[in-house]
């Protein structure tokens, strides 16, 4: 028998296996705990619970490490494209030129959205949040493309279709919300360039593609492509464990990403910076509130559930932020406020001791704002970037021989057995 942990309870000793990952991570396998002891574990937020084996993404929060299939995210952001990174996550290896060209052709061929879906969009109230629309529309794709999931080729097409059409649907929702004519994807543009063109090109003012903005979007999506077993990825795996179709699982992931503590954080950062600006631009009252344990206010864009060192994605996004603003020759007062916040947070003992470093959301909101992306579309941008990770995680869970339907336990704290009281006696 290999290494194990010994648990003594009720006079009985149980040996629980110790499992080790490829990077040395250790975990106690408790899959037989309830059967052998009658006990279960209680772990709010699952911060100490591993839900699966995975070969997709490795992150080390204490040392600020993030790798996709073993490749540091810094290298991918510098040398790769979002499409190449998506292929890497989904298929496990970097593509050769032939594979990458075929993947690009498939994305192009599947980029159009069924015209009947346009009427769906037009029926949503104009005030509807784009994330709610995107989640429901992704789920609706199943009705338009109901091929069986049992054939490998059809599964691959479904994955490619999602990657391509989600981008088109996001741009479509923006155009319709403004009452503008939809711009269709072009075969001569890259994935990122196509999105910007579909968002901002108009018949009266053709959109001039800026290579710096295209690169910024490429880096933004690479940095968000996967992030281990986070809230939305876990939602995709949990829903997928019921053996639902890929569209439904991804729709659940989009809904989970919507929250301000997860994907909505970059939008919340801009809203917070705007509030500071409207209050006169002084950051100290907000710093004071953030340090007050009795005040529910929190500074958005600082700290991370997993990273206890500087978020490696934040370093890259910070550099990209300055490059974009310098290239556009655009002064953004919100960036000045953001830089002041960062300076204080990196020196203030409260922030340092509590590991409240600026995270990727702190800078990405500024970059998206510089691109002209509306604030309520920020989380949609995150969702498009996270699609490859969700798809890869769903595929891995489907192929896992140890697959089980996700069904957590609970500790019941309600009333004990209580007799029913007839209505007239209450």
Residues designated as active site: 304, 361
* Exposure letters 301-334 (e unless 16+ CB within 10 A, then b): bbbbeebeebbbbbbbbbebbeebbeeeeeebeb
Spacing of C-alpha 304 from chain mean position: 14
In 38-151, which ranges are continuous DSSP H helix? 73-79, 82-91, 97-109, 116-123, 130-144
Q: Give me the torsion for CA of 263, 267, 269, 273, rounded to 10°.
A: 180
Closest by CA to 307, choosing from 365, 360, 370, is: 360
What distance in Å separates the CA atoms of residue 170 and residue 41, rounded to the nearest whole number?
A: 41
- Read off φ and ψ for residue 340, nearest 5 degrees: -65, -40
Helix, strand, or coil (residue 248): helix
Would you state the structure tokens that stand for residue 43, as one six-digit string?
Answer: 């772990």
Closest by CA to 54, choosing from 43, 74, 69, 36, is: 69
DSSP string for 122-153 = HHS-TT--HHHHHHHHHHHHHHH----SSSHH
What distance in Å separates the CA atoms of residue 190 and residue 108, rounded to the nearest whole number?
A: 9
Checking DSSP bridges between strand 65-68 and strand 71-72, what pairing results, if any? antiparallel
Closest by CA to 141, choosing from 165, 160, 123, is: 165
- Read off φ and ψ for residue 9, nearest 5 degrees: -150, 130
What distance in Å separates the CA atoms of residue 114 and residue 377, rounded to the nearest whole number?
A: 22
Would you state the structure tokens that stand for residue 61, as one six-digit string?
Answer: 């929060």
Helix, strand, or coil (residue 422): coil
- DSSP class of residue 376? G
Spacing of C-alpha 28 from chain mean position: 28
């Amino acid at each position: 028998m290999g290494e194990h942990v010994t648990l003594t309870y009720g006079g009985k000793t149980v040996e629980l296996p110790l499992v080790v990952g490829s990077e040395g991570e250790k975990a106690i396998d408790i899959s037989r705990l309830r059967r052998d002891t009658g006990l279960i574990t209680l772990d709010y937020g699952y911060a100490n619970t591993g839900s699966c084996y995975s070969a997709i993404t490795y992150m080390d929060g204490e040392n600020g490490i993030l790798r996709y299939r073993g490749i540091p995210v810094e290298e991918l952001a510098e040398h790769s494209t979002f499409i190449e990174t998506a292929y890497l996550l989904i298929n496990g290896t970097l593509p050769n030129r032939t594979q990458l060209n075929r993947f690009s052709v498939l994305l192009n061929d599947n980029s159009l959205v069924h015209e009947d879906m346009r009427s769906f969009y037009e029926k949503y109230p104009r005030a509807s949040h784009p994330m709610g629309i995107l989640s429901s529309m992704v789920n609706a794709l199943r009705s338009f493309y109901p091929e069986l999931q049992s054939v490998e080729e059809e599964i691959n097409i479904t994955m490619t279709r999602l990657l391509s059409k989600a981008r088109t649907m996001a741009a479509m929702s923006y155009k319709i919300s403004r009452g503008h004519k939809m711009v269709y994807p072009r075969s001569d543009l890259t994935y990122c360039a196509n999105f910007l063109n579909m968002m901002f090109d108009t018949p009266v003012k053709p959109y001039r593609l800026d290579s710096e903005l295209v690169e910024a979007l490429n880096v933004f999506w690479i940095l968000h492509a996967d992030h281990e077993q986070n809230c939305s990825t876990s939602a995709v795996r949990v829903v997928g464990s019921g053996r639902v179709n890929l569209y439904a699982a991804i729709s659940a992931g989009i809904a989970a990403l919507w929250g301000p503590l997860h994907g909505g954080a970059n939008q919340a950062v801009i809203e917070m910076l705007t509030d500071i600006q409207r209050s006169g631009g002084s950051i100290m009252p907000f710093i004071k509130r953030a340090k007050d344990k009795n005040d529910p206010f929190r500074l958005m864009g600082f700290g991370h559930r997993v990273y206890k060192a500087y978020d490696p994605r934040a370093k890259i996004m910070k550099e990209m932020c300055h490059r974009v603003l310098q290239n556009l020759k655009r002064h953004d007062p919100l960036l000045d406020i953001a830089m002041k916040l960062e300076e204080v947070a990196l020196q203030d003992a409260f922030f340092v001791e509590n590991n409240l470093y600026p995270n990727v959301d702190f800078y990405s909101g500024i970059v998206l704002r510089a691109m002209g992306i509306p604030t309520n579309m920020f989380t949609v941008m995150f969702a498009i970037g996270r699609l490859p990770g969700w798809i890869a995680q769903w595929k891995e869970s489907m192929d896992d021989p140890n697959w089980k339907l996700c069904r957590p336990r609970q500790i019941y704290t309600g009333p004990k057995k209580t007799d029913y009281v007839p209505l007239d006696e209450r």
